Structure 1
Amino acid sequence: MTDPEYLDRAEAALAAIEQGCDRINDATDADIDNQRVGGMITITFPNKSQLIVNLQPPLQEIWLAARSGGYHYRQVDGAWRDTKTGEELFANLSREATAQSGQPLQFSALSS
């Protein structure tokens, strides 16, 4: 994948996360805050725990930092997959957000 392709796909993933936060706040009482600075989104929960998603352009990866640990994702067959487990980014983000918020929260990629 070329660098411009990586940036397009990674930016689409960040946009999906931002839209997911907005949708979650509209549909639930989760009251999560998301702040984007450049290629990084910080999601803060009412209990002050955070999820941090940031782009790593030199590696063509997206990284997720959560209470449970750090995860690195690369594009594999059109999805962002964890480099160790193969788990999909949005599935893992949903699981981590659910754990940190105390209620079921769902993130998903944007439809093309």
Structure 2
Amino acid sequence: MTDLEYMDRAESALAAIECACDRLNDATEADIDNQRVGGMITLSFPNGSQLIVNLQKPLQEIWLAARSGGYHYRHDGTAWVDTKTGEEFFSNLSREASLQAGLRLDFSA
């Protein structure tokens, strides 16, 4: 994938996260504070926990930092998948956000 293709796909993923936070805040009591600085989004939850999504341009990856650990995702032509487990990014983000928020939250591309 070219650098331009990576940036298009990665920026789309970050935009989807921002839109999902707005949707979830309207539809649930999640109260997720999302702040974006460049290629990084920090999701803060009322209990003080955070999820951090960060673009890694040199590696063409998206990284997710959560209480359970750090995850690295590469685009396989269809979706962002974990480089170790093959798990899809938005599925993992949904699981991690749900754990930290204490209620079911669904993120999608």
User: If the length of structure 1 is used for normalisation, what is the TM-score?
Assistant: 0.96
SS at match of 2:55: strand
| CA drift at 1:107 | 0.1
SS at match of 2:19: helix
Aligned residues: 109
Aligned residue identity for 1:54 = N
1:60-99 correspondence to structure 2 within 5 Å: 60-99=60-99
Q: Deviations over 1:36-83 (max 9, x none)?
A: 000000000000100000000000000000000000000013100000
Q: Deviations over 1:77-105 (max 9, x none)?
A: 31000000000000000000000000000
For residues 8 and 32 of structure 2, the distance between their equivalents in structure 1, rounded to whole angstroms, comes to: 26
1:4-15 correspondence to structure 2 within 5 Å: 4-15=4-15
Superposition RMSD in Å: 0.4
SS at match of 2:51: strand
The answer to which of 75-84 and 65-74 deviates more is 75-84
The answer to which of 37-46 and 73-82 deviates more is 73-82
| CA drift at 1:108 | 0.1
* Structure 1, gaps ≥5 residues long: none
* Aligned equivalent of 2:107: 107
* Structure 2, gaps ≥5 residues long: none
SS at match of 1:31: coil
* Aligned equivalent of 2:32: 32
SS at match of 2:6: helix
SS at match of 1:52: strand
For residues 77 and 95 of structure 1, the distance between their equivalents in structure 2, rounded to whole angstroms, comes to: 23
